[in-house]
Structures are given as C-alpha cells and as structure tokens.
A = this chain, B = another copy of it.
Amino acid sequence: MARTTRQRSAVVAVFDELEGFHSAQEVHARLRTAGDTVGLSTVYRAVQALADDGELDSIRTESGEALYRRCSTQHHHHLVCRSCGRTVEVAGPTVEAWADRVAGEHGFADVSHTLEIVGTCADCR
C-alpha cells in the first residue's frame, strides 16, 4: 500500500524539476549521475505506480518508448516537423473542449487525451 521510500521520492523529485515528457530510462540515468543509486526496475515500478495514481501522464514515442510527465504541467500539444524533428508546443482550448464534449456524449468520464500534429516545417520544404 504505497509506502513512501527514498527511491520513490527521488523519482517524484525528478519530475518536479523537469518540464515535459521524460522516459523511465532518462529518469534512471539522471538519478544515477546525481549519485542516487536506484535500480532501473524500481524506476519503472515507480513511474507506473505514479501513472496509475494519476500523478503522471504517459504517452508513447514513435519508436515505442514510454514517456511520462508531471500531470500538473500545463497542458499543451506538439507540432513536430517530420523532416528535421523541430517541435513547437501549441495550446488548444478548442480541442480540449471538443474532446471533453465528445467523450461526455459517449458516457466517458475522467477524460484525458493526447494529440500530435506532424507536418513539414517551412525550413524543410
């Protein structure tokens, strides 16, 4: 039952310091280089537990990697260039409202969403 250990606090601390999405491996590396010895398995368990508790959001990279971010981070989406990978963060009240409405219409509650826009940026055309 959710015991508060040194390792879990450390993982939470990393996400408190960092904006945006980060992988479990990245968190692990960050802790290690900070001199904090935490097992990789433990980091995986921690981020999963946190995601289950709704403290972290998660998405999947195009390559299949799982990324997490602190939930309180201001919500926004990514506009990614398919050629150079340049990323612009965009906010979308329109979409947020639409997603909530559509979900509600189908009886879904406690709704979140992920949206990724991919295109070719001006420089790469």
Contacts and interface: CB of A to CB of B under 8 A. Distances in A.
A119 B62 CA distance: 22
Contacts of A66: 64
Interface string A70-111: 000000000101000000101010110011001100111111
Contacts of A79: 102-103, 106, 108
B94 A117 contact: no
Given A79-B102, A98-B95, A118 B109 contact: no
A67 to B, nearest CB: 11
A117 B103 contact: yes
A45 interface: no
A76 to B, nearest CB: 11
Contact of A119 (B88, B111, B115, B125): B111
Contact of A120 (B109, B117, B125): B109
A5 interface: no
B111 A90 contact: no
B119 A90 contact: no
A53 to B, nearest CB: 13
B115 A114 contact: yes
